[in-house]
A = this chain, B = another copy of it.
Amino acid sequence: MPELRKDPVTGRWVIIATDPARRPSDFIRSRVVSKSNGDCPFCAGQENQTPPEILSYRDQANQWNLRVVPNKFPALRVEEMLDRTGEGLYDRMTGVGAHEVIIESREHKVSLAQLPEKRVEDLFWAFRDRILDLKRDSRLRYVLLFKNHGEAAGASVEHSHSQLIALPVVPIQVQEEIDGGRRYYEFKERCVFCDMLRQEASHGARVILETDEVLVLAPYAARFPFETWVLPRAHSSHFESAHASLIQSLAWAMRATIRKLERVLEYPSYNFLIHTAPIQEGPLPHYHWHLEIIPRLTRVAGFEWGAGFYINPTPPEEAAQFLRDAGL
Protein backbone atom coordinates (compact mmCIF):
# COMPACT_ATOMS: atom_id res chain seq x y z
CA MET A 1 0.00 0.00 0.00
CA PRO A 2 1.54 3.34 -0.97
CA GLU A 3 2.39 5.66 1.89
CA LEU A 4 3.08 9.38 2.21
CA ARG A 5 6.01 10.29 4.45
CA LYS A 6 7.06 13.70 5.68
CA ASP A 7 10.66 14.82 5.93
CA PRO A 8 10.98 15.89 9.58
CA VAL A 9 13.32 18.79 8.74
CA THR A 10 11.82 20.51 5.70
CA GLY A 11 8.23 19.25 5.88
CA ARG A 12 8.43 17.89 2.33
CA TRP A 13 6.06 14.98 1.68
CA VAL A 14 7.24 12.02 -0.40
CA ILE A 15 5.29 9.08 -1.83
CA ILE A 16 6.85 5.74 -0.94
CA ALA A 17 5.47 3.31 -3.51
CA THR A 18 5.31 -0.27 -2.32
CA ASP A 19 3.44 -2.38 -4.83
CA PRO A 20 5.59 -3.61 -6.29
CA ALA A 21 8.66 -2.07 -4.66
CA ARG A 22 11.47 -1.73 -7.17
CA ARG A 23 14.54 -3.80 -6.42
CA PRO A 24 18.09 -3.11 -7.56
CA SER A 25 17.72 -5.32 -10.63
CA ASP A 26 14.79 -3.20 -11.83
CA PHE A 27 17.08 -0.20 -12.10
CA ILE A 28 19.94 -2.13 -13.66
CA ARG A 29 17.79 -3.58 -16.44
CA SER A 30 17.53 -0.88 -19.05
CA ARG A 31 14.12 0.69 -18.98
CA VAL A 32 11.47 -0.68 -21.28
CA VAL A 33 10.14 2.33 -23.15
CA SER A 34 7.14 2.73 -25.34
CA LYS A 35 5.54 -0.11 -27.17
CA SER A 36 5.17 0.60 -30.85
CA ASN A 37 1.80 1.28 -32.34
CA GLY A 38 -0.17 -1.97 -32.36
CA ASP A 39 0.31 -3.11 -28.81
CA CYS A 40 0.11 0.34 -27.22
CA PRO A 41 -2.73 0.30 -24.64
CA PHE A 42 -3.49 3.98 -25.31
CA CYS A 43 -4.08 3.56 -29.06
CA ALA A 44 -7.56 3.56 -30.59
CA GLY A 45 -8.87 0.00 -30.74
CA GLN A 46 -7.03 -1.08 -27.57
CA GLU A 47 -9.48 0.49 -25.12
CA ASN A 48 -9.99 -2.80 -23.27
CA GLN A 49 -6.32 -2.74 -22.23
CA THR A 50 -6.78 0.25 -19.90
CA PRO A 51 -8.72 0.36 -16.63
CA PRO A 52 -12.32 1.63 -17.13
CA GLU A 53 -12.59 5.13 -18.59
CA ILE A 54 -13.24 8.03 -16.18
CA LEU A 55 -14.03 10.60 -18.86
CA SER A 56 -14.02 10.82 -22.63
CA TYR A 57 -14.78 13.42 -25.28
CA ARG A 58 -16.39 11.91 -28.36
CA ASP A 59 -17.36 13.06 -31.81
CA GLN A 60 -20.75 12.68 -33.49
CA ALA A 61 -19.92 9.13 -34.54
CA ASN A 62 -19.25 8.38 -30.83
CA GLN A 63 -15.57 7.97 -31.55
CA TRP A 64 -13.37 9.27 -28.71
CA ASN A 65 -10.86 12.05 -29.23
CA LEU A 66 -9.64 12.19 -25.66
CA ARG A 67 -9.88 9.65 -22.84
CA VAL A 68 -9.06 9.86 -19.14
CA VAL A 69 -8.26 6.54 -17.45
CA PRO A 70 -6.76 5.60 -14.08
CA ASN A 71 -3.03 4.90 -14.14
CA LYS A 72 -2.54 1.14 -14.19
CA PHE A 73 0.20 1.45 -11.55
CA PRO A 74 -1.12 4.35 -9.50
CA ALA A 75 1.17 6.16 -7.05
CA LEU A 76 -1.91 6.89 -4.91
CA ARG A 77 -5.39 5.38 -4.63
CA VAL A 78 -8.72 6.99 -3.96
CA GLU A 79 -10.07 3.80 -2.31
CA GLU A 80 -7.76 4.10 0.74
CA MET A 81 -8.90 5.52 4.07
CA LEU A 82 -7.03 8.71 4.99
CA ASP A 83 -5.12 7.76 8.12
CA ARG A 84 -2.42 9.90 9.72
CA THR A 85 0.02 8.24 12.10
CA GLY A 86 3.31 9.01 13.79
CA GLU A 87 6.40 6.84 14.10
CA GLY A 88 8.59 8.45 16.76
CA LEU A 89 9.46 11.86 15.36
CA TYR A 90 8.22 10.96 11.88
CA ASP A 91 4.80 11.58 10.30
CA ARG A 92 3.08 9.56 7.64
CA MET A 93 -0.32 9.07 6.08
CA THR A 94 -1.91 6.52 3.83
CA GLY A 95 -1.52 7.06 0.12
CA VAL A 96 -4.95 8.49 -0.57
CA GLY A 97 -5.26 10.25 -3.89
CA ALA A 98 -5.68 9.70 -7.58
CA HIS A 99 -3.35 9.10 -10.47
CA GLU A 100 -4.91 9.45 -13.89
CA VAL A 101 -3.74 9.49 -17.50
CA ILE A 102 -5.18 11.85 -20.08
CA ILE A 103 -4.81 10.23 -23.51
CA GLU A 104 -4.61 13.20 -25.86
CA SER A 105 -5.13 11.52 -29.19
CA ARG A 106 -6.29 8.34 -30.94
CA GLU A 107 -2.98 8.33 -32.77
CA HIS A 108 0.09 6.80 -31.20
CA LYS A 109 2.54 9.64 -31.28
CA VAL A 110 1.59 13.17 -32.12
CA SER A 111 2.99 16.42 -30.76
CA LEU A 112 0.66 18.99 -29.18
CA ALA A 113 1.87 21.28 -31.97
CA GLN A 114 0.52 18.88 -34.61
CA LEU A 115 -2.85 18.26 -32.91
CA PRO A 116 -5.78 20.30 -34.24
CA GLU A 117 -6.36 23.38 -32.08
CA LYS A 118 -9.67 21.97 -30.85
CA ARG A 119 -7.90 18.86 -29.46
CA VAL A 120 -5.46 21.01 -27.45
CA GLU A 121 -8.45 22.89 -26.06
CA ASP A 122 -9.97 19.54 -25.13
CA LEU A 123 -6.87 18.71 -23.08
CA PHE A 124 -7.36 21.83 -20.97
CA TRP A 125 -11.11 21.19 -20.70
CA ALA A 126 -10.31 17.70 -19.44
CA PHE A 127 -7.92 19.12 -16.82
CA ARG A 128 -10.72 21.45 -15.71
CA ASP A 129 -13.39 18.74 -15.65
CA ARG A 130 -11.20 16.41 -13.63
CA ILE A 131 -10.32 19.08 -11.03
CA LEU A 132 -14.00 19.98 -10.62
CA ASP A 133 -14.82 16.31 -10.04
CA LEU A 134 -11.92 15.55 -7.67
CA LYS A 135 -12.58 18.73 -5.67
CA ARG A 136 -15.73 17.08 -4.31
CA ASP A 137 -13.55 14.68 -2.32
CA SER A 138 -12.66 16.81 0.70
CA ARG A 139 -9.66 14.64 1.59
CA LEU A 140 -7.89 15.87 -1.55
CA ARG A 141 -6.09 19.19 -1.31
CA TYR A 142 -4.15 19.51 -4.52
CA VAL A 143 -4.30 18.43 -8.15
CA LEU A 144 -1.05 18.35 -10.09
CA LEU A 145 -1.45 18.49 -13.87
CA PHE A 146 1.60 17.72 -15.96
CA LYS A 147 3.02 16.23 -19.11
CA ASN A 148 6.27 14.36 -19.64
CA HIS A 149 7.15 14.43 -23.32
CA GLY A 150 10.10 12.36 -24.52
CA GLU A 151 12.37 9.97 -22.72
CA ALA A 152 14.68 12.64 -21.26
CA ALA A 153 11.59 14.17 -19.63
CA GLY A 154 10.72 10.92 -17.88
CA ALA A 155 8.01 9.68 -20.25
CA SER A 156 7.74 5.90 -20.04
CA VAL A 157 4.97 5.54 -22.63
CA GLU A 158 5.34 7.05 -26.09
CA HIS A 159 1.64 7.58 -26.86
CA SER A 160 0.77 11.27 -26.40
CA HIS A 161 -0.63 11.74 -22.92
CA SER A 162 -0.66 13.99 -19.89
CA GLN A 163 -1.09 13.04 -16.25
CA LEU A 164 -2.91 14.12 -13.15
CA ILE A 165 -2.04 13.36 -9.53
CA ALA A 166 -4.47 14.36 -6.79
CA LEU A 167 -2.89 14.64 -3.33
CA PRO A 168 -4.01 14.91 0.31
CA VAL A 169 -1.20 17.48 0.86
CA VAL A 170 -0.02 20.63 -0.91
CA PRO A 171 3.37 20.04 -2.58
CA ILE A 172 6.17 22.04 -0.98
CA GLN A 173 7.20 24.06 -4.04
CA VAL A 174 3.65 25.15 -4.70
CA GLN A 175 3.25 26.08 -1.03
CA GLU A 176 6.43 28.17 -1.24
CA GLU A 177 5.08 30.03 -4.27
CA ILE A 178 1.85 30.71 -2.42
CA ASP A 179 3.72 31.86 0.69
CA GLY A 180 6.01 34.05 -1.42
CA GLY A 181 2.99 35.55 -3.15
CA ARG A 182 1.40 36.23 0.25
CA ARG A 183 4.52 38.00 1.57
CA TYR A 184 4.62 40.25 -1.51
CA TYR A 185 0.90 40.93 -1.19
CA GLU A 186 1.21 41.87 2.48
CA PHE A 187 3.94 44.35 1.56
CA LYS A 188 2.47 45.80 -1.64
CA GLU A 189 -1.21 44.80 -1.67
CA ARG A 190 -0.70 43.64 -5.23
CA CYS A 191 -0.26 40.19 -6.79
CA VAL A 192 3.40 39.59 -7.63
CA PHE A 193 2.45 37.74 -10.82
CA CYS A 194 0.22 40.65 -11.95
CA ASP A 195 3.15 43.02 -11.34
CA MET A 196 5.44 40.69 -13.28
CA LEU A 197 2.98 40.55 -16.19
CA ARG A 198 2.82 44.36 -16.36
CA GLN A 199 6.60 44.76 -16.20
CA GLU A 200 7.29 42.02 -18.76
CA ALA A 201 4.66 43.27 -21.21
CA SER A 202 6.06 46.81 -21.14
CA HIS A 203 9.73 45.72 -21.14
CA GLY A 204 9.27 43.15 -23.90
CA ALA A 205 12.74 41.53 -23.91
CA ARG A 206 11.52 38.31 -22.30
CA VAL A 207 8.15 38.11 -24.07
CA ILE A 208 7.79 35.20 -26.48
CA LEU A 209 4.15 35.49 -27.50
CA GLU A 210 1.07 37.51 -26.58
CA THR A 211 -2.65 37.07 -26.98
CA ASP A 212 -5.53 39.08 -25.51
CA GLU A 213 -5.78 36.55 -22.71
CA VAL A 214 -2.28 35.17 -22.05
CA LEU A 215 1.37 36.19 -22.04
CA VAL A 216 4.11 33.66 -22.85
CA LEU A 217 7.52 34.64 -21.47
CA ALA A 218 10.98 33.51 -20.43
CA PRO A 219 10.99 34.14 -16.65
CA TYR A 220 13.55 36.63 -15.27
CA ALA A 221 15.19 34.05 -12.95
CA ALA A 222 14.74 31.03 -15.25
CA ARG A 223 16.30 27.89 -13.75
CA PHE A 224 16.66 26.10 -17.07
CA PRO A 225 17.66 27.13 -20.60
CA PHE A 226 14.52 27.96 -22.61
CA GLU A 227 12.26 27.61 -19.55
CA THR A 228 8.96 29.17 -20.63
CA TRP A 229 5.92 30.30 -18.63
CA VAL A 230 2.38 30.89 -19.86
CA LEU A 231 0.43 33.30 -17.64
CA PRO A 232 -3.20 34.39 -17.93
CA ARG A 233 -3.31 38.19 -18.07
CA ALA A 234 -6.30 38.48 -15.75
CA HIS A 235 -5.77 37.65 -12.10
CA SER A 236 -7.03 34.21 -11.09
CA SER A 237 -5.68 31.79 -8.49
CA HIS A 238 -7.49 28.65 -9.69
CA PHE A 239 -6.98 27.08 -13.10
CA GLU A 240 -10.40 25.44 -12.91
CA SER A 241 -12.12 28.83 -12.94
CA ALA A 242 -10.88 29.48 -16.50
CA HIS A 243 -13.68 30.43 -18.89
CA ALA A 244 -14.01 29.35 -22.52
CA SER A 245 -12.20 32.27 -24.14
CA LEU A 246 -9.20 31.81 -21.83
CA ILE A 247 -9.06 28.06 -22.53
CA GLN A 248 -9.14 28.82 -26.25
CA SER A 249 -6.40 31.40 -25.97
CA LEU A 250 -4.31 29.12 -23.76
CA ALA A 251 -4.62 26.23 -26.21
CA TRP A 252 -3.63 28.45 -29.13
CA ALA A 253 -0.66 29.88 -27.23
CA MET A 254 0.53 26.46 -26.01
CA ARG A 255 0.35 24.98 -29.47
CA ALA A 256 2.29 27.92 -30.92
CA THR A 257 4.86 27.85 -28.11
CA ILE A 258 5.51 24.12 -28.41
CA ARG A 259 5.91 24.57 -32.16
CA LYS A 260 8.47 27.32 -31.55
CA LEU A 261 10.38 25.16 -29.08
CA GLU A 262 10.33 22.28 -31.55
CA ARG A 263 11.71 24.51 -34.30
CA VAL A 264 14.43 26.17 -32.26
CA LEU A 265 15.52 23.13 -30.25
CA GLU A 266 14.76 20.41 -32.81
CA TYR A 267 12.00 18.51 -31.02
CA PRO A 268 13.30 18.50 -27.44
CA SER A 269 11.98 16.40 -24.61
CA TYR A 270 10.03 18.65 -22.25
CA ASN A 271 7.83 18.75 -19.18
CA PHE A 272 4.97 21.10 -18.65
CA LEU A 273 2.95 21.55 -15.52
CA ILE A 274 0.26 23.78 -14.15
CA HIS A 275 0.79 25.63 -10.88
CA THR A 276 -2.60 26.40 -9.44
CA ALA A 277 -4.03 27.07 -5.96
CA PRO A 278 -5.07 24.23 -3.62
CA ILE A 279 -8.46 22.94 -4.72
CA GLN A 280 -10.24 23.36 -1.37
CA GLU A 281 -9.27 27.04 -1.00
CA GLY A 282 -11.38 29.98 -2.12
CA PRO A 283 -10.01 32.56 -4.57
CA LEU A 284 -6.65 33.96 -3.40
CA PRO A 285 -5.71 37.59 -4.12
CA HIS A 286 -1.98 36.74 -3.84
CA TYR A 287 -1.70 33.69 -6.11
CA HIS A 288 -1.98 33.52 -9.88
CA TRP A 289 -2.13 30.21 -11.71
CA HIS A 290 0.26 29.63 -14.60
CA LEU A 291 1.81 26.94 -16.74
CA GLU A 292 5.55 26.19 -16.79
CA ILE A 293 7.30 24.48 -19.73
CA ILE A 294 10.76 23.04 -19.09
CA PRO A 295 12.68 21.72 -22.11
CA ARG A 296 15.05 18.99 -20.90
CA LEU A 297 18.30 20.11 -22.49
CA THR A 298 20.83 19.69 -19.70
CA ARG A 299 21.32 17.05 -17.05
CA VAL A 300 20.63 18.20 -13.53
CA ALA A 301 23.76 17.69 -11.43
CA GLY A 302 24.63 17.52 -7.73
CA PHE A 303 24.71 21.24 -7.35
CA GLU A 304 21.06 21.62 -8.33
CA TRP A 305 19.83 18.67 -6.25
CA GLY A 306 21.83 19.70 -3.29
CA ALA A 307 20.80 23.23 -2.99
CA GLY A 308 17.80 23.98 -5.14
CA PHE A 309 20.24 26.36 -6.81
CA TYR A 310 20.47 26.40 -10.59
CA ILE A 311 22.99 27.51 -13.17
CA ASN A 312 21.24 28.52 -16.36
CA PRO A 313 23.62 28.72 -19.31
CA THR A 314 21.21 30.66 -21.55
CA PRO A 315 20.03 34.14 -20.46
CA PRO A 316 16.22 34.26 -20.69
CA GLU A 317 16.40 37.36 -22.92
CA GLU A 318 18.35 35.37 -25.51
CA ALA A 319 16.05 32.37 -25.24
CA ALA A 320 13.03 34.66 -25.74
CA GLN A 321 14.66 36.23 -28.79
CA PHE A 322 15.27 32.84 -30.42
CA LEU A 323 11.69 31.78 -29.73
CA ARG A 324 10.18 35.09 -30.91
CA ASP A 325 12.18 34.89 -34.12
CA ALA A 326 11.07 31.30 -34.80
CA GLY A 327 7.71 32.41 -36.22
CA LEU A 328 4.34 30.90 -35.44
Contacts and interface: CB of A to CB of B under 8 A. Distances in A.
Interface of A: 5-18, 21-24, 26-28, 75, 87-90, 144, 146-148, 151-155, 163, 165, 167, 171-174, 176-177, 180-181, 184, 192-193, 195-196, 199, 203, 219-223, 225-226, 264-266, 268, 271-275, 292, 294, 297-303, 305-316, 318, 322
Nearest to A193: B9
A308 B12 contact: yes
Contacts of A264: 24
B312 A153 contact: no
A222 B132 CA distance: 32
Contacts of A87: 220
Closest 10 pairs between A and B when the two form their complex, measured CB to CB:
A154-B301, A171-B307, A271-B302, A273-B306, A173-B308, A146-B302, A171-B309, A22-B313, A27-B297, A5-B221
Given A171-B308, A172-B307, 10 more contacts: A7-B180, A8-B180, A14-B310, A17-B311, A23-B314, A148-B302, A154-B301, A154-B302, A173-B306, A272-B302
B14 A309 contact: yes
When all copies of this chain in the complex are counted, the total is 2
A301 B265 CA distance: 19
Contacts of A274: 306
A301 B271 contact: yes
A180 B125 CA distance: 39
Contact of A154 (B154, B300, B308): B300
A21 B218 CA distance: 15
A192 B146 contact: no
Nearest to A149: B302
A142 to B, nearest CB: 8
A6 B148 CA distance: 27
A90 to B, nearest CB: 5
Given A273-B302, A299-B152, A307-B174, A9 B181 contact: yes
A292 B174 CA distance: 24
A234 to B, nearest CB: 18
26 contacts: A7-B180, A8-B184, A8-B196, A9-B177, A13-B309, A14-B222, A15-B311, A16-B312, A17-B311, A17-B312, A21-B318, A23-B318, A24-B226, A24-B266, A75-B311, A90-B199, A90-B220, A146-B302, A146-B306, A148-B302, A153-B302, A165-B303, A171-B306, A171-B307, A172-B307, A176-B308
